[in-house]
Amino acid sequence: MEFRGYYRPDGKIGARNYVAIVPAVGCINNLCSHLERLIRGTVAIRHDQGCLHPPADTAQVTRTLINLGKNPNVGGALVVGLGCEMVKAEEVYEGIKATGKPVDMVVVHQIGGMIDTLAKGARALVNIVAEVSGVHREKAGLDKLVFGTKCGSSDTTSGLSSNLVTGEVCRLMTQNGGKFIQGEICDIMGGEYALKNLSVDKEQGEKIVDYVRDLYMRGYFVGADTRGCQMTAGNVAGGLTTLVEKALGANAKGDDVPIQGTLDYAEIPPDKPGRYIMNFPGHGFENLTGSAAGGAIVHLFTTGRGAPNGNPIMPTVKLCGNSKTMKTMSEHIDVDVSSIIDETETLEHAGERLYEFAVDVANGRLTKCEILNFEGMEILIKGPVM
Amino acid sequence: MTKYAKRISEKDNVVTAVADCVAGDTVTVKYKKAKTQYTCNQDVPFGHKIATVDIPKGSVIIKYGETIGSAKKDIKKGDWVHIHNVKDDYKCLDKNGKPLPGQED
């Protein structure tokens, strides 16, 4: 098994070779879509944030956009600003430029309107795409791989098959020196102490519990008992008895691999291999964005009933252990692990199979999300929208 | 056709059925090359749990090698294990181990 990827000037290695069009604010998404249609090899990372946030969220959105640009699947970028937004286009531009990748910037208010901005932005993109398309895949070690993970549209089979198979990959890929980013604080609720016990650093372990407390209290302030929001009638009908049981099934995506540390939303892990817990939610769009901004080049997304969504810059592998879903939703699912439920394959074997598939995707094989263009993006904010 | 149930960890005192089982059915558990069989005392639907040992009232239920709740009443080996006989003890706790507000039950 060999990984061949795109080397970036900062030493990171990507699985894709995109040029990202990065809007500083959602107001100019349309302009970014026009540029994306006009210039081959580009991908617009549309989102709805960037303005009228409390300062902490402005910082979070800025960090997310910079780190998406830093993701090694991105070879170059054009930052697009409107000119009056809270997130500063120039700060995003400088942040991505620090990697040494080709980056340019256009600001609508400075240029004066969409049409001239399109012309200037398109010309800049022609140069960036020409340069980035000249980067070719080269041999890289398996230690350069960074995978993210989440579960979505889960059912009883998730905690019994697909999550356990992903746990096998977490063990194998971190043993080989890779990094593995897990999170979904809502799903960790109930299993936070199990993860704390797996943390190599006591303070970092306590931070996982803090993430859960913070989520619980934010629910409390809007009149919800977040514990109840997690256990649905469908979960109980499916056989899940307690919140802890549900959480442990979700945590299983990392098996019992020691946890190296915690990451704030969209934070890049330190240069140390292993498993990390990021403060990202379960909701697919914000979750995948957090993972991609953290530097994941491939995401392992387990599903029971068939969650279709992916991310614009990070290939997302769907795996499923429900044989009925495999019949009805196969166009959305990359890896069938219903063999675990049928007792026709061992976890170890399925884990190796998934690992090989994920490396194949890192080497260029398209995922169903990519083939279907089933992608979306959102950035997590915590405070009120003004 | 053989009906299977899954054991996740050695420490577990429940296994999870991956077939719809009726009272009297024998389920087979494959775990680390060993095969064990249990007889269902009640109907156990797909995805639901079966006790592998007697679990007295107040004792913990273990799955994934961790405590997931406690027995509300005496549970016999082969019993269906679900919300009718398991208490969810989880509360979100503050740094001093006290429940955060809004968790009365």
Q: Mean pLDDT, to the nearest integer, of A161-166?
A: 98
Within 8 A of B16 by CB-CB distance, chain A residues are 156, 160, 239
Decide if B49 touches A, using CB distance below 8 A.
Answer: yes
Q: Mean pLDDT, to the nearest integer, of A15-33?
A: 98
Q: In this structure, is the dihedral angle defined by the CA atoms of residues A172, A261, A207 and A293, taken in order, positive or negative?
A: negative
pLDDT of res. B75 = 98
* CB pairs A-B closer than 8 Å: 87
pLDDT of res. B104 = 74
pLDDT of res. A253 = 97
- pLDDT of B22 > 70? The answer is yes
Percent of chain B with pLDDT over 70: 99
Residue spans of the domains in chain A: they are: 18-134, 142-371
- pLDDT of A231 > 90? The answer is no
- pLDDT of A92 > 90? The answer is yes
Q: Mean pLDDT, to the nearest integer, of B54-62?
A: 98
- pLDDT of A316 > 90? The answer is yes
Residue B1 CA: distances (Å) to CA of A177, A285, B45, B48 = 43, 42, 16, 19
Closest Cα in chain B, distance from residue A220 (Å): 7
Q: Is B90 in Cβ contact with A242 (below 8 Å)?
A: yes
Q: What confidence category does residue B105 fall into, taking pLDDT thresholds of 50, 70 and 90?
A: low
Q: Mean pLDDT, to the nearest integer, of A105-109?
A: 98
Q: Mean pLDDT, to the nearest integer, of A294-321?
A: 96
Specify whether domain A18-134 bears CATH 3.40.50.261.
yes
- pLDDT of A23 > 80? The answer is yes
pLDDT of res. A15 = 98
- pLDDT of A227 > 90? The answer is no
Closest Cα in chain B, distance from residue A287 (Å): 23
- pLDDT of A140 > 80? The answer is yes
- pLDDT of A86 > 70? The answer is yes
- pLDDT of A38 > 90? The answer is yes
Q: Mean pLDDT, to the nearest integer, of A94-114?
A: 98
pLDDT of res. A69 = 98
Query: DSSP of A141-174, one letter per residue?
Result: -GGG-EEEEEEES--HHIIIIIHHHHHHHHHHHH
Decide if B100 touches A, using CB distance below 8 A.
Answer: yes
* Through-space distance between the first and last CA atoms of chain B, rounded to whole angstroms: 43
**In three state form, how does the secondary structure of chain B look?**
CCEEEECCCCCCCEEEECCCECCCCEEEEEECCEEEEEECCCCECCCCEEECCCECCCCEEEECCEEEEEECCCECCCCEECCCCEECCCCCECCCCCECCCCCC
Q: Which amino acid is at A107?
A: V
As given in the structure block, the two tokens for residue B50 are 């079966």
Q: How does pLDDT run across A197-215, given as a tens digit for each residue?
A: 999 999 999 999 999 999 9
Q: Is B49 in Cβ contact with A239 (below 8 Å)?
A: yes
pLDDT of res. A230 = 76
- pLDDT of B60 > 70? The answer is yes
Q: What is the average pLDDT value for chain A, to the nearest integer?
A: 96
Q: How does pLDDT run across A48-77, given as a tens digit for each residue?
A: 999 999 999 999 999 999 999 999 999 999
Which CATH number is associated with domain A142-371?
Answer: 3.40.50
Q: Mean pLDDT, to the nearest integer, of A7-36?
A: 98
pLDDT of res. A385 = 87
What is the chain B residue with the closest CA to A233?
A: B83
Same fold, A18-134 and A142-371: yes
Q: How does pLDDT run across A338-369, given as a tens digit for each residue?
A: 999 999 999 999 999 999 999 999 999 999 99
Within 8 A of B93 by CB-CB distance, chain A residues are 213
pLDDT of res. A328 = 95
What interface predicted TM-score (ipTM) does this complex get? 0.97
Q: How does pLDDT run across A234-278, given as a tens digit for each residue?
A: 889 989 999 999 999 999 999 999 999 999 999 999 999 999 999
What is the set of domains in chain B, with CATH numbers?
3-87 (2.30.130.110)
Decide if A122 touches B, using CB distance below 8 A.
Answer: no
Distance CA B30, CA A346 (A): 10
